[in-house]
Amino acid sequence: MRIGIAGIAGRMGRLLAEETIAAGAALAGGTLRPGASLDTLPPGLPVLPDIVALCAGADVVVDFTHAHSARAHALAAAETGTPLILGSSGLSATDEAAVAEAAKRIPIVYAASFAPGVALFLAIAERMAAALPPAQYDAEIVEMHHRQKVDAPSGTAIALGRAVAAGRGTTLEEAGRESGRDGHCGARGTGTVGFAALRGGQVIGEHTLLFAGASEHISLTHRNFDRRVYANGAVRAALWVKGRAPGLYGMRDVLGM
C-alpha cells in the first residue's frame, strides 16, 4: 500500500513517514511547505509538486498540515478518488462542510485526535453525559497545549463538547458554549458546555472533562506524552480505509467501537 504524506518534512510529517515504514507500507512521497528542508527525509523519497500530484500517486493520503489547507486537500483527493486521512485541527464550520461534501465521493477519516485513547475517551464522555442530567451536573472541559498551538479550544476539546452534547440528546451548538469568562460575565448557563484553554511550555496535549454537581464531581483526564501516538493512529487509519465506501469516518470506526 502506497501512503502519501502532505507536509512530509514537518514535525508530524516525519513521524508519519517513520510509522508508515514501520507498518510495512510504502511511502508514495510527500509535499513540502515552501522553504522546508529535505535533510531529515529518507533518501530517494519522491517529493511531489502539489497535493493533486500526491493524491494521484498514492493509494491514500495523510494530511496533518493546517486547517486552511483542509478544503483544498479534500477537494484534490475527491477529484483523484484517493482516500484521505485528515488530522488537521481548527477547521471552521465551512471547512468541515467541504470535507463532508468530499466524503460523498471518497472515504475520509477525519478525527480531532488519532490517539486510540482519545477515541475511547470520547465514547466514555458520551455515556457519562447521558447518565448525568444537565440540570444537576455542569460540564466543563479544560485543555492545555504547547505555547505554539494557534487554535483554541483544541479540536479534541471541541470533540469532547460534541460528545457531551450528543450524550444529552442535542448538539454543541444548541447546548451552547461558555469560554473566556472574565469580569461580570453572569451566572453559568444550565446545560451549556464550558471550555478553558491553557497554553504554555511544550505540553503535547492534556484534556480533562469535569462533571460538577452540587454534591459530587466526576472527572476524566487524557494526557499525551508523545506525538508519535497520533502518527501511529493515522497510519492505522490509512491501512483501514483502503477499499471502504465513500463516507466520513472517525477513529471509533477504525477501532471498531
Residues 77/106, Cβ–Cβ less than 8 Å: yes
pLDDT truncated to tens, each residue of the chain (257 aa)?
A: 999 999 998 889 999 999 999 999 999 999 987 766 667 676 778 889 999 999 999 999 999 999 999 999 999 999 999 999 999 988 999 999 999 999 999 999 999 899 999 999 999 999 999 999 999 999 999 999 999 998 899 999 999 999 999 999 999 999 999 998 889 989 999 999 999 999 999 999 999 999 999 999 999 999 999 999 999 999 999 999 999 999 999 999 999 98
Q: Which fold does the domain 116-224 belong to in CATH?
A: Dihydrodipicolinate Reductase; domain 2 (3.30.360)
For the chain, give every domain's residue range.
2-110+227-254, 116-224
Confirm if 167 and 102 have CB atoms less than 8 A apart.
no
pLDDT of residue 43: 73
Report pLDDT for 34. 72
CA distance 128 to 139: 10
Which of 66, 73, 145, 207 is labelled catalytic? Answer: 145
**Are the beta carbons of 156 and 143 closer than 8 angstroms?**
yes
Give yes or no: 145 in active site: yes
Examine the residue annotation and report whether 149 is marked as an active-site residue of this protein.
yes
Of the listed 149, 184, 222, 242, which one is catalytic?
149
According to CATH, the topology of domain 2-110+227-254 is Rossmann fold (3.40.50)
